[in-house]
Amino acid sequence: MVQRLKLSPHDVGKLLLACYIVYFATYFGRTHYSSAMVAIIPEFGCTKAEAGLVSSYFYAIYAVFQIVHAVIADRSNNKAMIGISLAVSAATNLMMPFMPSIAAMKYVWMLNGIAQSAMVTHLMGICAKMVPIDMLPRTMTILITASSLGSLLSYLFSSFFISIASWKFLFYSGAVILGASTLLWFFTINKLEKRCIYEENTETTPAPQAAVSTNFKQIIYMFLSGGLIISLLITTIDGIHREGMISWFPSFVKESYNVSESFSVFIAILLPMLSFFGSPLARFVTTKIGNRASSVVRGTMFYGISLVLLVVLRFTAWSGIVVSCVIFAVLSLLMTAINVSFINNTSVEMAAYGCSALLTGILNFGYCAGSAVSGYVMGAISDKLGWTAVLDFLWIVAVVAVALGLIVSVLWTRFLKRLNISKQQADAAV
């Protein structure tokens, strides 16, 4: 007889609300450097490549620590790690306006990257432990939308502060929101822990962990035999696309269509606004397709559509600001759906086997590595070759992503079938 910790459906809603606020605050405290970059560049007199290095430093250190948290998240105190992450991120936001140069900003934002690297894996860890498995897919679908909402508010605040005062107030607001979220998190999670109940599992069927354990040999087997090593490359390319477009879209609009800084940031709100629906889109396609297609098949489908739009964008971008904004916004939607499919949905597929947080951290490592590349590389390409070359770069790497997606779709689908057959054989033997 096995006992497992569980929240009631009513309390799951409270946990989701707390996690949603935390994830929202995290993204607000992360994306507003990108949203304010169009104003920071002229103030410090730096190149776009130099300004992009701040984001690159953030995501590079974030990616490294993703691996650390991926290893410890399923066995560590998720509650404490989330709280520490919020508090340190609040402190770095408060420090940013006082930095004397763009070079100094790099190191403060690196510290923010270390702090925030704990968030995704430990949120997945606490949800996997406290939320019933049948409620987990819907819970994660809702939670992911918080990232887009945080980015949306960041761009709104940035446009407002740039137009009336200074970009520095954006970081002050980030410190306040993150600090308040820290207090709310500990207050809420402490109450919920006391309300947890233990459910007795009287089934005689072997636990799923008997088929796949979280030790490194099994994880390596999953990545090699299931092709997740290729998924890691795809999430890297998704990071280049998604974060690159969000970070550099205001500068692209300002320089290509000769508009003001505040207006370029304001119109960039379209990207997080549509990306908000990326997670629901991925969930909708999942419910319609069901078990007929795995998470990576759905993600590859989204990438194929994105490739077509990127090619169209390459040849229509200079026809007007409206066309570019619409295509960029739809791409933001699709890139979020790709992210959810390859990272979150793949992790949910393995939720019953006790390795969701580990998979989330490893796959998110790829995404963050791509984000680190996008900050500097896209800025450098724009400095030296212009925005047309940037658009060429985007569709070319999309071709690579689609090709890799077709390969991993076959491998991961076969892996899931073998896993299911193994479980059926174990059930039959009981």
Average pLDDT, the chain: 79
374-428: pLDDT as tens digits: 878 888 888 888 888 999 999 999 999 999 989 988 888 888 777 664 444 434 3
Percent of the chain with pLDDT over 70: 81
> Does residue 185 register a pLDDT over 70?
yes
Confidence band, pLDDT 50/70/90 cuts, at residue 71: confident
**Can you tell me the distance from the alpha carbon of 238 to that of 366, in angstroms, rounded to the nearest whole number?**
9
Residue 93, H or E segment: helix 78-95
**pLDDT given at position 361:** 72
Domains and CATH numbers, the chain: 2-197+211-429 (1.20.1250.20)
State how far the alpha carbon of 64 is from the alpha carbons of 23, 220, 326, 350, 373, in Å.
20, 18, 34, 23, 14
Residue pair 249/48 in contact by the 8 Å Cβ criterion: no
The amino acid at 41: I
> Does residue 120 register a pLDDT over 80?
no
339-387: pLDDT as tens digits: 888 877 777 666 555 566 677 777 888 888 888 888 788 888 888 888 8
The β-bridge partners of 201 are 2
> Does residue 172 register a pLDDT over 60?
yes
1-54: pLDDT as tens digits: 334 456 666 677 787 888 888 888 888 888 888 878 878 888 888 888 888 888
